[in-house]
Structure 1
Amino acid sequence: MMAAILVAGTASHVGKSTVATGLARLLADRGLDVEPFKAQNMSTNARVAVRPEAVRETDDPLYGEIGVAQHTQARAAGVPPSTDHNPVLLKPRGDSESQLLLDGRPVAHADTAAFYGQYWERARETALAAYDRLDDRADVVVAEGAGSIAEINLHDRDLPNVEFARATDAQILLVVDIERGGAFAALYGTLELLPEDVRDQVVGAIVTKFRGDRSLLDPGIDAIERRTDVPVLAVLPHDDPGLPDEDSLSVPTDGVYRGGAGDSTAADVRATRIVVPQLPRLSNVADLDPLATMPGVEVVIRPLDRALTESTDAVVLPGTKNTVAAARAAREAGLGDRLATFSGPIVGLCGGYQILGERLHRADRETGGSPRSVAGLGLLAVETTFAAAKTIRRARYSIDARGPISGASGTVAGYEIHAGQTTTGDRPAPLDPASVATDRVLGTYLHGVFEHDGIRRAFLDAAGHDAARDRAARAPIDRAADLLRGRGVIDALDVASAAQRSRR
């Protein structure tokens, strides 16, 4: 039996993804075969992964979608991303409804009542079957929980937390965020509310996001350990390693999303400002992370009616889970007129690409109602027709550099996830056939385009960024591992048998 570790939390956004990513890297560095896992995820940021043969029928698609966190954790573990890493994915669409994906493929649109009433048993079977496949090839599975493990109203159907812990007898690391206050109360209350059998699986707690003098925590740690008999294994300093955000809904409106890893610019030099208009149901904002973690660059989320200011250097429209609603909202806010007179570079990614075009046809396929055709912003001479089938694939294109990426060369790899098919006519296609460009506007279906060094630098050059100020920053996965390194967390886990098996 391999070792299963569940990184659970007292609440959402306490640092579970960071701990799970860092742990996967450290265990892999010790020579173990590590696989990441999240039984059920709700995320608007998805990535493409391979679907295992066990879930594919004849002519079934090779690729599917998983949450961005598990895609990152697979890279941390040094394994190819698989839909087994996140077998149940819910992508919110608004009005309490989500698209449900099992084994990477969409199967339904369901609200909460429908999910638990009609699909939960199927989701459970899908998740545990995926875990069993990982069991066949891994020494250690590092699983990430969802939200709080102490939601007592959901304990009979809490797939990513309680259900997974029971089914696998996983060792549980409980993560609590001290920055928001009440960490000791949250830790104590969570342990008290856990079912007794699951509580017995908790091997320790990790306190995250601490600022200041570590010794000030000692009295509280001593008290909580006496009261709960659960050791506090580590206190992690406050440091955002720059991992992609799992949920675009957590991105702040009218504020800096993320900017300038490390030292950014001198005090008298303004950062290059890339504006993201706040489209309804933003998704895959993590596509901008390669830009946002560059020193001297700010990525700023701003409301549609106040998106462009004098300090705007470039604009990126990312994806959205409701492209039709986003196109309508953008037009009503006058965004198209303002973009038409904006002199800087503009990039539309996936849904943003579709919105920059002239029209969206068969809109009823996305909305379930009328009208059948909706106007776009008209910055690109393309039209998109929504299709019943969804395109999900990895892709590699040669770069014919034009417009906002003029100067880039070579090839670029990424992935596509989109429901519409876009007619480009004879327009220049710098990433043929997945994009079009004018002298200052690029629209592309290729997610991950800014991970290409040449494209990223060409775009920043077009935005007037001084590339001479850039410096190499330590990779986010390595920074997540650094937070845990040398703190004794792995020593508290029972992975010795897995390590011995790996060496045989």
Structure 2
Amino acid sequence: MARTIMLQGTSSHVGKSILTTALCRIFLQDGQKVVPFKAQNMALNSYVTKTGGEIGRAQVAQAEAAGLDPRVEMNPVLLKPTGNSCSQVILLGKPIGNMSAKEYHTGYSLKALDVVKQSLQKLADEFDTIVIEGAGSPAEVNLKANDIVNMRIAKLLQAPVLLIADIDRGGALAAVVGTLELLEPDERDLVKGIIINKFRGDINLLKPALEFLETKTGKPVAGVIPHLDDLGIDDEDSVSLDDKALSGKTAEIEIAVLRTPKISNFTDFDPLDSEPDVAVRYVQKGEPIGRPDLLILPGSKNTTEDLLYLRKAGYETEIKALAAAGTPVVGICGGYQMLGQTIFDPEHTESELESIEGLGLLNTRTTFAADKVTHQVTLGCQGSGFLGISFTGENMQGYEIHMGLTDFLTPVRHAFTITSRSGQGVNHQDGVISEDGLIMGTYVHGIFDNDAYRRAILDAIRRKKGLRPVGAVLNSNKRKQASYDRLAEVVRGNLDMKLIYRVMGN
């Protein structure tokens, strides 16, 4: 049976995902065959595996840190919020329908437990170490009866638990003590250590608090992890956009991304922000778009709702004015759909509206359908012409996650040619580039992960601004791997790894 360790938190966004990523890397470095696992994830940032299954983005980063290809068993249940306390439920990578929070928690979650158990067994048969991430807090008494992600999993596996508190937000000691107090005795016994995360300052000033915590709870403090800035690792969900908004980065190129209420897969833009000459700014509600060098409409879990938001908030007028003035605009997935003339929803997959007028910047129309397209794709670009670039690229990588078919009202210039989907050869034209080369839409997520293509776009923007092109191509995968190593080094240096290995039975 595989060894296990589980990370739970006193609340959401305390650092469970990133510390799970760190442990995956540490165990890999220590020669273990390690795999991440999260039974149920709620996130709008998702990814498509090689088999076409959809999982949470956090498990993708954890898999990469563990030296693995992501697979659906790492995150057997994914909930993608659609609005009005409703989520699309994805089981083993495939959507099974939309459910209200009440329907899911009281009627379905325990039915999904069998799939969770099967996934765990499959991973346990293949790996010698499983690093398990919890969700939210294990002490949510109103949810515990139907919980399939926290203490139910820990008790099922008798997995040792590390309880994480975020000291940066304040109240960490009370959060730890209160969480332990609300656990049942057998659950509390599984907690083998406490981690204080995101610490800033002099550790000597914290020592009295740590001693109090150990005396009060009877649990050892397994580590105090410093606050880590600019990790260069994909974020799980839009709550982390608040941190990005506070980064204050300035650079020669400013890219504005509209932060819509149902924004999804904003990790598409992390490679842009990692470039030294680029600052990505997320436009919050009420903020003006300004005069960016590039405007991006991101993916959306509810394109109709986000399009109505842009219209009601006055952003539609700004977008059209910027486009008319020559500001380049890119729409990805839902953003691509918004750029067209009309969106039809005959089956009411997103709303009660039969149709909605688009922004009218591309001569396309989209019809929503119940079937979801999820593929990893290989694609090429033959002198696409966006921003006037003559870039030619083959074997570029990306992935599709969308519901709906976009067709063209007149002959158009396509952005990319998809040559394979989920490993099967195809010849499919994707996306549109406007006649003037300033507007582009595509269904391909991760397009800016392709280093040479990204640099070609950015250098075209530089030329447009009268700046000298950089030319040098940043290797984003090499940078990401270095980020995992840096994270592991910091966490290893501030965590009692002897304690961790001991509670795991090593």
TM-score with structure 1 length normalisation?
0.89
Which residue is equivalent to 2:259?
278
Which residue is equivalent to 1:178?
167
In structure 2, how many angstroms separate the alpha carbons of the residues matched to 1:31 and 1:495?
17
- What is the SS of the residue equivalent to 1:20? helix
Tell me whether 1:478 sits opposite 2:478 in the alignment.
no
Alignment equivalent of 2:494, drawn from 487, 494, 501: 487
Q: Residue type of the partner of 1:394? A: Q
Which residue is equivalent to 2:238?
248
Q: Residue type of the partner of 1:276? A: V
Which residue is equivalent to 2:403?
419
Which residue is equivalent to 2:197?
208
User: Mean Cα displacement is larger for which, 340-349 or 158-167?
Assistant: 340-349
1:297-446 aligned at under 5 Å gives the runs 297-303=278-284, 306-310=287-291, 312-332=292-312, 333=314, 334-362=317-345, 364-371=347-354, 373-400=355-382, 401-404=384-387, 406-411=389-394, 412-424=396-408, 426-432=411-417, 433-438=429-434, 439-446=437-444
1:103-252 aligned at under 5 Å gives the runs 103-240=92-229, 241-252=231-242
Tell me whether 1:13 sits opposite 2:13 in the alignment.
yes
Deviations 1:382-431 (A, max 9, x none): 22111121101110001223214825432310110100111145322231
Deviations 1:59-95 (A, max 9, x none): xxx4211000001111111111111011011100111
User: Mean Cα displacement is larger for which, 134-143 or 322-331?
Assistant: 322-331
Q: CA deviation at 1:115?
A: 0.5
Deviations 1:18-58 (A, max 9, x none): 100011011011111111110011000000124xxxxxxxx
- What is the SS of the residue equivalent to 1:136? helix
In structure 1, how many angstroms separate the alpha carbons of the residues matched to 2:135 and 2:32?
25
Q: Residue type of the partner of 2:61? A: T
Alignment equivalent of 1:450, drawn from 435, 441, 448: 448
TM-aligned CA distance change 1:404 to 1:234, over 3 Å? farther
TM-aligned CA distance change 1:341 to 1:32, over 3 Å? same
Q: Residue type of the partner of 1:291? A: L
TM-aligned CA distance change 1:84 to 1:463, over 3 Å? same
Tell me whether 1:22 sits opposite 2:25 in the alignment.
no
- What is the SS of the residue equivalent to 1:13? coil
- What is the SS of the residue equivalent to 2:53? strand
Q: CA deviation at 1:463?
A: 3.2
Answer whether contact 2:415 2:442 (CA < 8 A) is retained. no
Answer whether contact 2:160 2:192 (CA < 8 A) is retained. yes
Q: CA deviation at 1:157?
A: 2.1
User: Mean Cα displacement is larger for which, 323-332 or 17-26?
Assistant: 323-332
User: Mean Cα displacement is larger for which, 448-457 or 117-126?
Assistant: 117-126
Deviations 1:351-372 (A, max 9, x none): 111111111123543235232x
In structure 1, how many angstroms separate the alpha carbons of the residues matched to 2:218 and 2:284?
48
Q: CA deviation at 1:304?
A: 6.3
Q: Residue type of the partner of 2:490? A: L
Alignment equivalent of 1:82, drawn from 47, 65, 71: 71
TM-aligned CA distance change 1:77 to 1:330, over 3 Å? same
In structure 2, how many angstroms separate the alpha carbons of the residues matched to 1:404 and 1:165?
53
TM-aligned CA distance change 1:154 to 1:306, over 3 Å? closer
Q: Residue type of the partner of 2:412? A: R
Q: CA deviation at 1:287?
A: 1.1
In structure 2, how many angstroms separate the alpha carbons of the residues matched to 1:38 and 1:103?
12
Deviations 1:182-211 (A, max 9, x none): 111111211222221121111211111111
Answer whether contact 1:436 1:443 (CA < 8 A) is retained. yes
In structure 1, how many angstroms separate the alpha carbons of the residues matched to 2:56 and 2:445?
14
In structure 1, how many angstroms separate the alpha carbons of the residues matched to 2:321 and 2:14?
38
5+ residue gaps, structure 1: 51-61, 500-504
In structure 1, how many angstroms separate the alpha carbons of the residues matched to 2:137 and 2:99?
22
Give the aligned length: 477
In structure 1, how many angstroms separate the alpha carbons of the residues matched to 2:213 and 2:469?
49
In structure 2, how many angstroms separate the alpha carbons of the residues matched to 1:221 and 1:169?
26
In structure 2, how many angstroms separate the alpha carbons of the residues matched to 1:257 and 1:276?
15
Answer whether contact 1:257 1:299 (CA < 8 A) is retained. no
Q: CA deviation at 1:469?
A: 11
Q: Residue type of the partner of 1:173? A: L
Answer whether contact 2:460 2:469 (CA < 8 A) is retained. no
Answer whether contact 1:404 1:458 (CA < 8 A) is retained. no
TM-aligned CA distance change 1:462 to 1:498, over 3 Å? farther
Answer whether contact 1:259 1:293 (CA < 8 A) is retained. no
